Amino acid sequence: MSTTGSQHKNKAATLGRIKCFISRGPLSKNPTQLNKKCDGIPSFASQLYTETLPFTRLEKWKLPGGNGSWQKFPVHDILSEVFLPANLGDKFGPVWSTHWLKVHFNLPKTLEGKEVHLRFSSGSEATLRDFQGSVLGAFSPDFRNEYIISKEWSGNESDIVYFIEIACNGMFGGGMIADNLNISPPDEAFEYTLQRLEIAVFNRVAYKLLNDVDVLYGMATELLETDHRGYQAMYTANEMINLITENKTQKAGQLADAFFAEKNGDKVHTLIAMGHCHIDTAWLWTYDETIRKCARSWHSQLQLMKDYPEFVFTCSQAQQFYWIKKYYPEIFTNIKEMVKQGRFIPVGGTWVELDGLLPSGESFIRQFFYGQQFFQKEFGMKCKEFWLPDTFGYSGQIPQILKHVGIDRFLTQKLSWSMVNKFPHHNFIWEGIDGSQVLVHFPPGDSYTMTASVKEILKSVTNSQDKGRVNCGAYLFGHGDGGGGPTMEMLEKLRRVRNVDGLPKVEMGTPDKLFEMLASESRNLCKWVGELYLELHNGTYTSQAKIKWYNRKLEQFLMEVELIMAIAYSTDCALQEEEFRKDLHLVDKCWKRLLLNQFHDVIPGSCIERVKDDAWRIYKCVWSDLTKLQTIYNNKLLFGAADNANVPVIFNPLCWEVTQVICSSSAIPQSVNSTVQTVVLDDKCFDEEEEGRKLPHKFVAVLVKMVPTGYSQVIPVEPSLPVTVRKTTNNNTSLFNMSNGKLNLKVETLNGIPVESLALVSSRQDYNEVEVFKKDTKPGMFYVFDDVPLFWDSWDAMDYHLETRKELECRDTSGPIILADGPLLSAYKWSCTFGSSSNFTRYTIMRADSPILEYFLIIDWKESHKFLKVEFPVDVLAREATYEIQYGHLQRPTHINTSWDMAKFEVSGHKWMDISQADRGVTFITDSKYGWHVRDNVVQLSLLRSPKSPDGNCDMHKHYIHYAILPHEGTFQSAGSIRKAYEFNFFGANDVSILNVDQDYWKRGMTNMVTTDNEAVILEAIKVAYQVNRALCIRMYESFGGSARARVNLGFSATKIEECDGLENPLDESKYVDTDGNSFQIRLNPFQIKSFLHSFDNQSFRDAEKLSKFQEILSVETGGGNNSDKIKNFHLKLNHFELQCDSDKLIKHFVNFNTIGFPNDGYVTINEDLFLAPESYCVDSLSNDLSEVVIVTCDEAPALPKCCPWGKLSRWLHPELCKKFENASENLNLNENLLLRSKISESRHKFYWHPLNCINENKMVETATINLYNQSELDGIIAQLIPGSFCFDDVLVSHDLKFDWQKNVALFYCGQSWPYNEFGVTNVETVMYGGCLSLSAVFLLAGIAVYAIRLKQTHCHIHTWIELFYMISLLSLAVFCILHINFPEDHLDFCSLYHLFSVFGYFVSAIGVFTWATLLSLELFLAFKDLRPVVGLGCKQNVKRLIFNAICGHFFPLLVTCCTFAYSFYWKNTGYCVNTDLAAVRIILAALLVVNTICFGGTLYLILRHRRCAMLAVDNKSTQSNQRLNQL
Ligand SMILES: [Zn+2]
């Protein structure tokens, strides 16, 4: 190697020289900063751009609204907005707003053949778009400020126009980020400045050399002390500089090439480099901005892929892909192509990169369920690895959950952030709490945002904890969040280090390749058992309490709604497939929204206030959707709730029987000898609407027994152990005891503060009571800690906070006041003010027959950097405490023997945690808290924190916190703690929902859907299967940590049961599970999760179930007795049954056929002794959902109208049938009620009979039905049949009317069959107008075609939009017109409402004519004057073409409008009012008129809004027009 001259240099001087040489360029992080030490030493970086050109014109436009408003403005609209003049130095703000720049450049011919870049800098993120709005490139403040216009400019096009969409936020949110890591809330008033916007000529030769020297410099600095290779790199770089100074750039380049061509040995360590861009789905910015961040980042990656064929990019989170698909379809199409090529690689398989600790087990599974579904659907592939580089700890159940969804690889790295202990592996086998094992890799560079520097590459080798065991590792490079992912510079550098002596091999590769290499060496790997605990960020178990509360409650709500829908599905309560699928889709949507908020900066509470607001809003939407679904399916299952509903019913989603005192604000009837207690709590604290939650202060408590997974009637049960309160006074200290035979609570007051002591009444003979807490302590007392973390405010609780524990200093205490004293519930309250005017009221509650002591805390939290905890010094000796996690539990030490134990000073747990010694212990239960600290025997539950960044108002509001203690004998398993924790979460609140069901309907509790006979087995998900029709998916787990055999009993008959995975794919190895149809046997290992698919084709089941329901109803209606023999051939699938009833018994019969499975659109045929009298109609009971059947019987046969003349067309079409029918009607032997018949005849009302419906082969009058469409129509029908009152306007009875004349049987039923539209077209006028209309329609289509072409040809969007509005308007008028024609000539009375509509229609038509005429004249006038741009009517075009456009675009539609108008006018004058008889048609007419009105309104709006659009309504090339405009 030539190193001429190098020997004269010393190390420090040479390195200094090289550093200066590469400084100040785009390669150094801050290009504008001059390195002072390099003054005078030539910097080669300044030669990167040889020539710059300013813009010729710059304009700006501010998008109205702030954060997220960009979604409301289509890009095409923005392009035609009125932009105002702008210049460099202009400010853009405030934070979260969006501004658009329109910039013109004039490129001279001299640039031909040169590489031309656009350079932009505003300190904010921005998107570059072309004149049509398509995304071209992206800018991020620190890392991407250039866009390559062309690598070799053709020199053809001289004028270029670009649009730049400036998003007023930086990489880390809005405004300036505070200097330390303690990220402050966004500075919302901050403004960004346009610093640079120019065209520059790029010197690619210089760029190559700079990258060469840069990499050499990296090697020189990093290898100098250890390796000769470092010196070689240094001397090579130095020599290159010498050559470059002499202008021998080619030679310099060759020198570098030769150096980088010197290869490594065979066994050198290999790094698999993967491009990555970790985009937090919301964090210091909102979800809305994330969408644009993804678009900018991913588009940049697609651009790089064109130039770097080796480049591979990994990308996680289905949600983000979904957003791009929705908002940037062009980019998504390109991504799809690259996914196909295996270069853009979806990874992770989850919906979002979720938090690793807080979501429930089911949520974890659904993250994969929905994530993999998306990847499969869009890309035809599933991710093979779990990818979660950035979360704050990893649950010990993750390995099994991964296995359950078919994944056995996991990539993460966050444990490198641990503060105390360095995790001993980068590659290992991770074994979860159940023994499942997955292969784990932590990229040994300890980062997922590396930048291709030599330093990081070497760190990825030296830092590896598995040297000698594994010879490869991942190298994830690319700027995250707004940084835009990998850059050209990174890819350039990686090309140089692919295989160069002195460094490891750095190959571009896929996760698949990495894990395959690791798997081949996995025999060498160590095993890690249990959770991966991050020794940092443990304040995130508590921050943003409300988000956590919502998450817990909605996870449970979803479980409940899915179960209700599964019951409805399997019992087939007349679900309409399409509607049901829609509702299932809504459930999916609810899940996805919940999963979104489980993102690893949202649910942990480490987000800004705006994100919190978004999260709450999303939760409220989910809540309301689920409430809607719950109501729908409860109604379906419980036969609807009629007005006189008086049977209280409760739903239990848990798979075991629950007997508990529940509290509800619903009225519960008190039966004899049973107890219902009314409780009134403090009315100040409750009843406030806090974030959608309203807790009643007055409610009833009742002890009920609830069947598993089903509905039960609320029948008050007498408690075997009522709760009592006994007051005593002892030496001026007020004292009282609260006891329920299981617990004995003694409350003493000390300085106004209640001090509690709790005893467990022992079941053992030799003891009476066992004290639960240590003597002379204050169990349940609140403590406040100083909470000032070193680094990240919302994230961290540092261990030293424990040393600042202070008992709450209460002011203005009130209480304890006893509010309820049994027998079902007793409660006392205590309230006080503390700190900076925070205040709380605590209710201590004990229920009858319950081993639980509850606390309900309402707290208004106003502190700053304080941590609030409640403490319980338990009287047990336990070295470990047990915490519930996802689908299981694990133990953590209560001591601090080792640094690993010590680091776990704040840990997470779900619904419960337990501390026990061999014979007894205490379980603590919460409804939404996750943070725990247990040291020795003292348990602290973390309640609230008050960090001030990044959300300055984090948790500063009212909180409702519910927690409980459950002292027990024996183990927590034997004490039933786990199930109690579920019960507490589902039935603990005082607003438990109770449904009221009609007495007649509620005959028995619904079948228990699914139960097990083993207490350890818990069924947490019972849902309709995703892929398989007529199947349910049921998921269960073993909760005790032991082996379990259980029989699972089903409330429905399964034809086939097969085991499946978490994605609901049947397991290959599984054969069908043995089942007797109603139960099956399972075996579960400790903590094992199993899912099963249950198919239930069983028509027979459904029929049998319905039949039995039908019989029950019938039995009631007929006053008891078995009617089963009267129901024949009950076959619902064929929509048919025969019913035999005695007319003297059956007085009134009312069946919801929906409930028993009739489709809404079928016919019901009754052939036996039933008859119907419309007079005794129970019209009131008819519901509006058109789903019910009314069968009424009475003693007398009703009058039945005779069939009347048909429309002329019908007669003409079916003369024979008509004849036959008429004869048949005449010949019928009607023996009664002729009076009514004649009355009807007098009233001149006519029935239109449709022959095809009337005549049923030869038995055309065997049966009778009247098809009704809604209640008002039904009223009309009855009015027809009852003499003396009629109002026939709205009713159509012209078809589907069938009577059994001989047997006097008629059946009325409401269905959804669409009204038959009878054509009685006979009069000449109508035909004439039809012809006229057809001609107009042709013109209309011609006009539309012309506009479609124009829309494509021009960019004059405003004009085109106006025209489109007219098009729609005209189209609707045309339809209106068509509807006029299609009615029979047998008209009925003039109808005033309809008249009103018609007049409105004429009015609208008249305006249309006027507007069109004006527009046409204007257009023609302007066309001749060439002034069109001035009024924004379009582009500059030649006159001939304009006239053509005007005629096609205006004249023909005008003609149509005129025709419509004339036609309408004629009809009005003839005095004809069409007898529509069709309510539906009316609705359509009304809708059309609304559309018309909207179109006119929209047009007006567009014209007003764009009145100045002359400035803009020219395409980018028509500069001449602009000049003309400027003159004007
Ligand atoms: Zn992150």
CA distance 87 to 81: 18
> Is the pLDDT reported for residue 1007 higher than 50?
yes
Strand order in the sheet with 159-167: 84-85, 57-62, 98-106, 159-167, 125-129, 135-139
> Is the pLDDT reported for residue 512 higher than 80?
yes
529, β-bridge pairs: 431
> Is the pLDDT reported for residue 644 higher than 70?
no
Query: Before 1429, cis peptide (omega within 30)?
Result: no
Q: What pLDDT shows up at residue 1321? A: 28
Q: What pLDDT shows up at residue 640? A: 54
Distance 478 CA to ligand 1 centre (A): 14
Give yes or no for a contact between 279 and 293, defined as CB atoms under 8 angstroms apart. Answer: yes
Give yes or no for a contact between 558 and 587, defined as CB atoms under 8 angstroms apart. Answer: yes
Scored b (16 or more CB within 10 A) or e, 7-22 reads: eeeeeeebbebbbbbb
User: Using one digit for the tens of pLDDT, what is the confidence trace for 866-914?
Assistant: 999 999 999 999 999 999 999 999 999 999 999 999 999 999 999 999 9
Q: What pLDDT shows up at residue 1251? A: 23
Q: What pLDDT shows up at residue 125? A: 94
Q: Which residue has the higher pLDDT, 535 or 1292?
A: 535
Distance 168 CA to ligand 1 centre (A): 21
Distance 353 CA to ligand 1 centre (A): 8
Distance 1088 CA to ligand 1 centre (A): 30
- Average model confidence (pLDDT) for the chain? 75
Task: Give me the mean pLDDT over the 606-621 stretch.
Answer: 94
> Is the pLDDT reported for residue 103 higher than 90?
yes
Task: Give me the mean pLDDT over the 64-84 stretch.
Answer: 88
Distance 181 CA to ligand 1 centre (A): 15
Distance 599 CA to ligand 1 centre (A): 9
Scored b (16 or more CB within 10 A) or e, 1118-1128 reads: beeeebeebbe
1054 band by pLDDT with thresholds 50, 70 and 90: confident
Distance 1064 CA to ligand 1 centre (A): 29
How close are the terminal C-alpha atoms of the chain, in Å?
Answer: 71
Phi, psi of 405 (to 5 degrees): -105, 15
Q: What pLDDT shows up at residue 527? A: 95
> Is the pLDDT reported for residue 854 higher than 50?
yes
Give yes or no for a contact between 1017 and 923, defined as CB atoms under 8 angstroms apart. Answer: no
Distance 124 CA to ligand 1 centre (A): 20
Q: Which residue has the higher pLDDT, 1241 or 692?
A: 692
Q: State both tokens at 44.
A: 């080669």
Report residue 75 CA to chain centroid gap. Answer: 25
> Is the pLDDT reported for residue 1162 higher than 50?
no
Sole residue written with tokens 């945002």: 449
> Is the pLDDT reported for residue 989 higher than 90?
no
Sole residue written with tokens 């081949």: 520
**Closest listed residue to residue 310, CA positions, set 146, 490, 152:** 490
> Is the pLDDT reported for residue 559 higher than 50?
yes
Distance 1199 CA to ligand 1 centre (A): 76
Helix (H) or strand (E) holding 749: strand 743-750
Distance 278 CA to ligand 1 centre (A): 6
- % pLDDT > 90, the chain: 47
User: Using one digit for the tens of pLDDT, what is the confidence trace for 233-253?
Assistant: 999 999 999 898 888 989 999
Pairing relationship of beta strands 84-85 and 57-62 according to DSSP bridges: antiparallel
Distance 386 CA to ligand 1 centre (A): 15
**Closest listed residue to residue 832, CA positions, set 768, 911, 737, 753:** 753
> Is the pLDDT reported for residue 1156 higher than 70?
no
Q: What pLDDT shows up at residue 7? A: 59
Least confident of 839-843, 989-993, 1202-1206: 1202-1206
Q: What pLDDT shows up at residue 1473? A: 32
Phi, psi of 914 (to 5 degrees): -135, 140
- Catalytic residue set: 390
Q: What pLDDT shows up at residue 767? A: 64
> Is the pLDDT reported for residue 154 higher than 70?
yes
Task: Give me the mean pLDDT over the 739-761 stretch.
Answer: 89
Going from the C-alpha of 1053 to that of each of 571, 1056, 1081, 1105, 1134, the distances in angstroms are 10, 9, 15, 11, 21
Per DSSP, the three-state class of 177 is coil
Sole residue written with tokens 């509905």: 711
> Is the pLDDT reported for residue 1356 higher than 50?
no
User: Using one digit for the tens of pLDDT, what is the confidence trace for 801-853?
Assistant: 999 999 998 888 887 889 998 899 999 999 999 998 999 999 999 999 999 99
Task: Give me the mean pLDDT over the 129-135 stretch.
Answer: 92
Give yes or no for a contact between 980 and 851, defined as CB atoms under 8 angstroms apart. Answer: yes
Distance 607 CA to ligand 1 centre (A): 11
Distance 387 CA to ligand 1 centre (A): 12
Q: What pLDDT shows up at residue 1455? A: 59
Sole residue written with tokens 């403490």: 871
- % pLDDT > 70, the chain: 66
CA distance 1252 to 1250: 6
Q: Where are the alpha helices (DSSP H) in 74-140?
A: 75-79
> Is the pLDDT reported for residue 1297 higher than 50?
no
CA distance 647 to 713: 7
User: Using one digit for the tens of pLDDT, what is the confidence trace for 390-428?
Assistant: 999 999 999 999 999 999 999 999 999 999 999 999 999
DSSP 1374-1390: HHHHHHHHSS-S-----
Strand order in the sheet with 409-411: 386-387, 409-411, 437-441, 427-431, 526-529
Distance 52 CA to ligand 1 centre (A): 38
Q: Show the 3-state SS of 1398-1444.
A: HHHHHHHHHHHHHHHHHHHHHHHHHHHHCCHHHHCCCCCCCHHHHHH
Distance 354 CA to ligand 1 centre (A): 9
Q: What pLDDT shows up at residue 1202? A: 30
Q: What pLDDT shows up at residue 306? A: 94
CA distance 528 to 432: 9
Phi, psi of 808 (to 5 degrees): -55, 130
1341 band by pLDDT with thresholds 50, 70 and 90: low
Task: Give me the mean pLDDT over the 36-45 stretch.
Answer: 64
569 band by pLDDT with thresholds 50, 70 and 90: confident
Task: Give me the mean pLDDT over the 298-323 stretch.
Answer: 95
Distance 348 CA to ligand 1 centre (A): 14
> Is the pLDDT reported for residue 1267 higher than 50?
no
Give yes or no for a contact between 1362 and 139, defined as CB atoms under 8 angstroms apart. Answer: no
Task: Give me the mean pLDDT over the 952-970 stretch.
Answer: 93
Q: What pLDDT shows up at residue 1337? A: 55
Q: What pLDDT shows up at residue 1406? A: 56
User: Using one digit for the tens of pLDDT, what is the confidence trace for 1056-1076?
Assistant: 888 999 999 988 766 677 777
Q: Which residue has the higher pLDDT, 1148 or 937?
A: 937
